C-alpha cells in the first residue's frame, strides 16, 4: 500500500516563492523527507498547466503540475494553499496532482491519468485532500461562466458564482473510472491548514502545505 500524508500548519510552510526564508523551507522539506524515510522527495514548480511528468527521484524539482512514479522510496509532493491536492494510486504507480481552477479547466486530471496508465493498466483510486470548498470560492461572473462551460460539474448557483472545484475534479476522475475519496476539509474554514484566501481576508502570512504519496 502506498503511503499518504497531508501536512498541516504544524509542519510549517513548505512553499518557496513566498515571504519566508528559503533555507527554512528547505530544512522543513528535508525534515519531512527524513520523517517519511524517503530516498527523495520531489516537488513541482507549479504553473496551473496540464503537464504531468514521470519522475525517478533524480531531479528534486520538476516544472509540471502533476508527477507520476513507479519507484519505491520516491515521494511525490504537491504544494497547495486552497488548490486541490489529488493523490492517485494504481497497481503500477502513484501520482500527485496540483489542481486549481485553471489546471482543472486545462485538463491536468486527464494528462495525469494518461501518464499513470502508461505504467500499466489497472484500477486507480484517488484522494482529494484539504482544499477550498464551494461556499468559500466565489469568483467573477465571467470566470464562473468560463469554468462551468468546460467543467459543468463545478457549477453551483449562477446567481452567486461559487465554483465547486472538488465536485469538478471528482466528476473528471469518475468519468475515467477512478474511485474518488474526498476528505471534505475546507482549507479556508479549517484553522489547521494554510489558505490563500484566508491569508488575504485575515491578513495572515501566506503558507503552503503538501500532499505526499509514495510507494
Ligand atoms: Zn469553505
Express each pLDDT in 143-166 by its tens digit. Answer: 999 999 999 999 999 899 999 999
3-131+178-214: CATH class: alpha beta
Ligand 1 geometric centre to CA of 187 (Å):
7
Residue 19 has what pLDDT? 86
Would you say 195 and 205 are in contact if contact means Cβ atoms under 8 Å apart? Answer: no
Residue 1 has what pLDDT? 80
| Cell numbers linked to 85 | 491536492
User: pLDDT tens digits, residue range 55-104?
Assistant: 999 999 999 999 999 999 999 999 999 999 999 999 999 999 999 999 99
Q: What percent of the chain clears pLDDT 70, i.e. is strictly above it?
A: 100
Would you say 24 and 11 are in contact if contact means Cβ atoms under 8 Å apart? Answer: no
Ligand 1 geometric centre to CA of 201 (Å):
13
* Residues, beta carbon < 5 Å, ion ligand 1: 133, 135-136, 186, 188-189
Ligand 1 geometric centre to CA of 93 (Å):
32
In three-state secondary structure terms, 209 is: strand
Is the predicted pLDDT of residue 17 greater than 90, yes or no?
Answer: no
Ligand 1 geometric centre to CA of 82 (Å):
10
Residue 210 has what pLDDT? 98
Would you say 14 and 209 are in contact if contact means Cβ atoms under 8 Å apart? Answer: yes
- Strand pairing of 94-99 and 66-69? antiparallel
Mean pLDDT taken over the chain: 97
Ligand 1 geometric centre to CA of 132 (Å):
5
Amino acid at each position: 500500500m502506498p503511503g499518504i500524508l497531508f501536512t498541516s500548519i504544524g509542519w510549517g510552510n513548505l512553499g518557496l516563492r513566498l515571504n519566508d526564508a528559503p533555507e527554512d523551507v528547505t530544512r522543513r522539506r528535508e525534515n519531512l523527507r527524513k520523517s517519511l524515510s524517503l530516498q527523495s522527495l520531489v516537488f513541482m514548480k507549479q504553473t496551473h498547466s496540464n503537464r504531468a511528468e514521470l519522475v525517478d527521484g533524480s531531479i528534486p524539482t520538476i516544472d509540471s503540475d502533476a508527477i507520476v512514479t513507479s519507484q519505491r522510496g520516491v515521494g511525490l509532493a504537491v504544494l497547495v494553499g486552497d488548490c486541490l491536492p489529488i493523490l492517485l494510486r494504481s497497481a503500477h504507480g502513484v501520482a500527485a496532482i496540483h489542481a486549481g481552477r485553471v489546471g482543472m479547466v486545462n485538463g491536468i486530471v486527464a494528462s495525469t491519468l494518461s501518464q499513470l496508465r502508461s505504467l500499466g493498466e489497472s484500477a486507480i483510486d484517488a484522494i482529494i485532500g484539504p482544499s477550498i470548498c464551494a461556499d468559500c470560492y466565489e469568483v467573477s461572473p465571467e470566470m464562473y461562466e468560463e469554468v462551468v462551460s468546460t467543467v459543468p460539474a463545478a457549477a453551483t448557483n449562477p446567481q452567486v458564482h461559487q465554483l465547486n472545484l472538488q465536485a469538478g475534479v471528482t466528476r473528471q476522475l469518475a468519468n475515467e473510472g477512478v474511485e474518488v475519496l474526498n476528505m471534505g476539509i475546507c482549507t479556508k474554514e479549517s484553522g489547521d491548514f494554510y489558505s490563500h484566501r484566508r491569508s488575504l481576508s485575515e491578513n495572515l502570512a501566506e503558507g503552503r502545505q503538501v500532499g505526499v504519496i509514495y510507494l
